[in-house]
Amino acid sequence: MVGTAQQLTILLGYCSVVVIPNTLLLKKPPNGSSMIHSLTRAQPWFGLLSLHHGHWTTLLSYYTGFLQLQAASHPAHARFRFPLREETPSVAGIINPGAEGFQKLFFGQEEIAILIEVACAAHPTADVFINFASFRSAAVSSMAALKQPTIRVVAIIAEGVPESDTKQLIAYARSNNKVVIGPATVGGIQAGAFKIGDTAGTIDNIIACKLYRPGSVGFVSKSGGMSNELYNTIARVTDGIYEGIAIGGDVFPGSTLSDHVLRFNNIPQVKMMVVLGELGGRDEYSLVEALKQGKVTKPVVAWVSGTCARLFKSEVQFGHAGAKSGGEMESAQAKNQALKDAGAVVPTSYEAFETAIKETFQKLVEEGKITPVKEIKPPQIPEDLNTAIKSGKVRAPTHIISTISDDRGEEPCYAGVPMSSIVEQGYGVGDVISLLWFKRSLPRYCTHFIEICIMLCADHGPCVSGAHNTIVTARAGKDLVSSLVSGLLTIGPRFGGAIDDAARYFKDAYDRGLTPYEFVESMKKKGIRVPGIGHRIKRGDNRDKRVELLQLFARTHFPSVKYMEYAVQVETYTLSKANNLVLNVDGAIGSLFLDLLAGSGMFTKPEIDEIVEIGYLNGLFVLARSIGLIGHTFDQKRLKQPLYRHPWEDVLYTK
C-alpha cells in the first residue's frame, strides 16, 4: 500500500480510487475503457491522456483511482455527480487503514453508506495518486506511490514541499515514464464529468460556474485560488470551460502551462484556451515558443499576473514560492509582451481579461467555429441542515435535552458552575454530585454527608455478592469494565438496592401518621419485608458501625432528623420480633436522605417524591460500591489469581 495511516493521499485510476486515510474509491467509467494510456518518452506529461476518437483527451473524463483526502473532501467528491444527473455518486469506496465498516455521505437528498476497504490489491488498475498529505510527508508518500508499479500519475496538493524533494520526484517520474502534477495544486476539473482535489470550491460555486456540463474553453493556471475566479469569469462570458487545471505555484512544477495548452489543442471539444500565469520563472516562455512554432492552432487568451511588482522599490515575493521575479525576463510585463508578440490575445490589464475572453469567444461564434452549448438546468442541490439552520431558513427539533452540564463554552460547566470555579472554591465530590444530580449547590453539611455515605459504602469485603461476582470475573481474565459491571448487576432489592425502597416506605408511613406497629404489621399483611430492616450478621447487641456513624453525623449537623427517628422507632419494634431485624445501612441512608432533602429547605415535596421515585438514593450505593469493585478487580489482577472454580464440597448435589 502507499503511505501511512497518518498521510492524506489519493490514488486515481481506471477502476477505483484509494485514499489513505479516508480514501475515495471512484467508480469505473461508463464505457468501461481505460482513460489512461501508457507513457512513452515521446509523449511527455500529456501522455497520461487517453486516445479518444483519434485525439488526446483529458485524464479527468471518468478517471478513477486512489484518493487520500481530508474528511471534508469526501462529500464534495461524492455529490459532484448529482448536478450532472448521474444516478450514482463517483465515490465507490473509501480506504482508511485501520478502519472498517462504512462512512455516511449525502448524494442529493439520499444518504448513502460508502464501504471502507483496501484498494490496491482489489483494484490493481488504479494508476493516479492524488496526495493531500502536508508538506512534511508529501514527498515521502508521493515517492512511495511513484514506486508502485501500477501508479503512473501523482498529483501533490501540499504547498511548501522542499525543492530538492520535488526535483527528486520529477526526476524519478521522468526516468520511469511517470508524471507529477503540482506541488501546490488544487487539482483539476472536467466540466460535467469529474473533479479532483478541492478545485472549483463548493457545490454552489460549481453550479454558478456552470461546471455541471462541458463548455468550449480549456483553462490552465498556476494559481488554484485564481482558477476558481476564472471559472466564474469564463462562465459569465462564454459557454463555460471544458476542462480546467491548476499546475501549482511552486518553483518546480511537475507539468507546465504549455503542456496543457498543447493538450487542449488536440481536444476537439476545446475551441479556445485561457491561460493565467504569474511573474517568476520562465514557464510561460515554453508556451511562447509553442505559439511561434505553430504548434497551437486555436486562440489563446493569456494574462500574466504580478504587473504591480514594479511599483515596489525592492524585489517582492508574492504568495507562491515561484511568484518571485528573478530578472526582467521573469517579470509579468516581459512575459505578457512575449505572449502577445507570439500571437496570444493579451489584454492591457487583468481588468480587461474578461473582455478579451468574451470578444475571442464571440468571434469564434460568429465564424461558426463554436456552437454555444445549450444550457441545461441542474437539479436542485439540497442544502445541508446545519447550513440551513445557521442561515435561519429552517428549524429542527433537538434530539437530546441536558440541564446538568454544558460543554459549549471555553470550559465545561456543571449546573451553570464553571469547572474553574469548582476547583478554585475547593468543591469536593459531594459538591459535584449535588450539582450534577440535584442541579443546585447544597449546603456543606449535605455534601459532606454524601461523601460520608460514599466512603462507608465503598466496600464490605470480598464475600458479598457484588464483590464475589467481580472477583470471579476478574479471575476469568476479563477487563476492568466487564468485572465492574458483573458486580454492579447484583445490586438490587436483596443487595444494596433497598435505599430507595426504604426511603419510599418510611416516608409514606411517617407522612400518613402510621405508628411503627401499624407500619410493620401492614407490611407483613402485604407479604413485603420492611426495606432497610434486617442484617445477616449484625444484631441488636452488635449494631452496624456505619449506621451509628451516620446517625451521629445527622444528629450533629442536620436541622431535623424526623425520618431517621421514625426509622429508629420502627427498628425498636422489629427488634422485639427478632434480634437480627436491626436498621441496616440502606435504611439509615434512606431515612437520613429524606431528612437531608426536607431539612435543607431547597426541595419541594414533589421534588423529594420524584428524587425517591427515580432512584437517586440507590445511585449513591452504586457510585460508592463501584470504588470497592474496581479495587477488587485490581487486587485480583495484581495477585495474578487463576480462574476461579467453586469447590465440589461446597455444593449439595441432589436429585
pLDDT of residue 55: 29
pLDDT of residue 599: 94
- CATH homologous superfamily of 491-614 equals Cytochrome P450-Terp, domain 2 (1.10.230.10)
Look over the chain and give the mean of its residue pLDDT values, rounded to a whole number: 81
Whether pLDDT at 23 is above 50: no
What's the average model confidence in pLDDT over 559-580? 95
* Lowest model confidence (mean pLDDT) among 150-159, 513-522, 609-618: 150-159
Confidence of residue 527 (pLDDT cuts 50, 70, 90): very high
Higher pLDDT, 248 or 608: 608
Whether pLDDT at 101 is above 80: no
Write out the three cell numbers for 72.
Answer: 471534508
pLDDT of residue 442: 95
What's the average model confidence in pLDDT over 521-540? 91
Task: Check the CA dihedral 274-277-282-283 and report its sign.
Answer: negative
Q: Which single residue is written with the C-alpha cell 505555484?
A: 249
Alpha-carbon gap, residue 269 to 265, rounded angstroms: 9
* Lowest model confidence (mean pLDDT) among 95-104, 586-595, 602-611: 95-104
492 forms bridges with which residues in the sheet?
A: 495, 496
pLDDT of residue 607: 94
CB-based contacts of 608, cutoff 8 Å, min separation 6: 507, 594, 597, 598
Active site residue 448: no
Higher pLDDT, 165 or 324: 165
Residues written for the chain:
655
Higher pLDDT, 644 or 393: 644
pLDDT of residue 505: 94
* Lowest model confidence (mean pLDDT) among 18-32, 195-209, 520-534: 18-32
Catalytic residue among 74, 123, 260, 320: 320
Within 247-378, strands assigned E span 272-278, 300-305
Domain limits of the chain?
A: 65-367, 405-457, 491-614
pLDDT of residue 100: 61
Higher pLDDT, 89 or 292: 292
- Other residues' Cβ atoms within 10 Å of the Cβ of residue 393: 10
pLDDT of residue 41: 24
Whether pLDDT at 421 is above 70: yes
Whether pLDDT at 478 is above 50: yes
pLDDT of residue 94: 55
pLDDT of residue 282: 83
pLDDT of residue 34: 29
With H, G, I as helix, E, B as strand and everything else as coil, classify residue 10.
strand
Alpha-carbon gap, residue 77 to 132, rounded angstroms: 14
Alpha-carbon gap, residue 129 to 521, rounded angstroms: 83
| DSSP, residue by residue, 200-237 | T-SHHHHHHTTTTS--SEEEEES-HHHHHHHHHHHHHH
Contact 569, 619 (CB under 8 A): no
Whether pLDDT at 218 is above 60: yes
CA distances from 609 to 221, 500, 617 (A): 73, 11, 12
pLDDT of residue 203: 80
Higher pLDDT, 72 or 175: 175
Q: Provide the residue type at 497 as one letter.
A: G
Report the candidate in 492, 476, 239, 509 with the shortest Cα–Cα distance to residue 376: 239
CA distances from 326 to 221, 266, 323 (A): 20, 33, 9
* Lowest model confidence (mean pLDDT) among 60-74, 121-135, 238-252, 625-639: 60-74
Confidence of residue 10 (pLDDT cuts 50, 70, 90): very low
- Other residues' Cβ atoms within 10 Å of the Cβ of residue 262: 20
The model carries a pTM of 0.58
Q: What percent of the chain has pLDDT over 90?
A: 49
pLDDT of residue 185: 87
Alpha-carbon gap, residue 378 to 261, rounded angstroms: 29
Q: What is the pLDDT of residues 313-333, one digit of tens each?
A: 656 655 544 445 556 788 888
Write out the three cell numbers for 486.
Answer: 458483573
Q: What is the pLDDT of residues 51-75, one digit of tens each?
A: 222 222 233 323 334 444 444 444 5
Q: What angle is formed at CA 454 by the lines to CA 553 and CA 503, rounded to 5 degrees? A: 70
Q: What angle is formed at CA 476 by the lines to CA 474 and CA 477, rounded to 5 degrees? A: 70
pLDDT of residue 60: 32
Whether pLDDT at 16 is above 60: no
Q: List alpha helices for 489-584, DSSP H.
A: 499-511, 516-525, 545-557, 562-575
What's the average model confidence in pLDDT over 433-442? 95
Whether pLDDT at 155 is above 80: yes
pLDDT of residue 83: 61
Confidence of residue 43 (pLDDT cuts 50, 70, 90): very low
Higher pLDDT, 376 or 630: 630
153 φ, ψ (degrees, to nearest 5): -130, 135
Contacts 24+ apart (CB under 8 A), 385-394: none
pLDDT of residue 22: 34
Q: Provide the residue type at 187 as one letter.
A: G
With H, G, I as helix, E, B as strand and everything else as coil, classify residue 18.
strand
Confidence of residue 224 (pLDDT cuts 50, 70, 90): confident
* Lowest model confidence (mean pLDDT) among 233-242, 466-475, 495-504: 495-504
- Fold of the CATH domain 65-367: Rossmann fold (3.40.50)
With H, G, I as helix, E, B as strand and everything else as coil, classify residue 187.
strand
Q: What percent of the chain has pLDDT over 70?
A: 78
CB-based contacts of 319, cutoff 8 Å, min separation 6: 223, 249
* Lowest model confidence (mean pLDDT) among 176-180, 249-253, 265-269, 637-641: 249-253
pLDDT of residue 102: 63
pLDDT of residue 38: 25
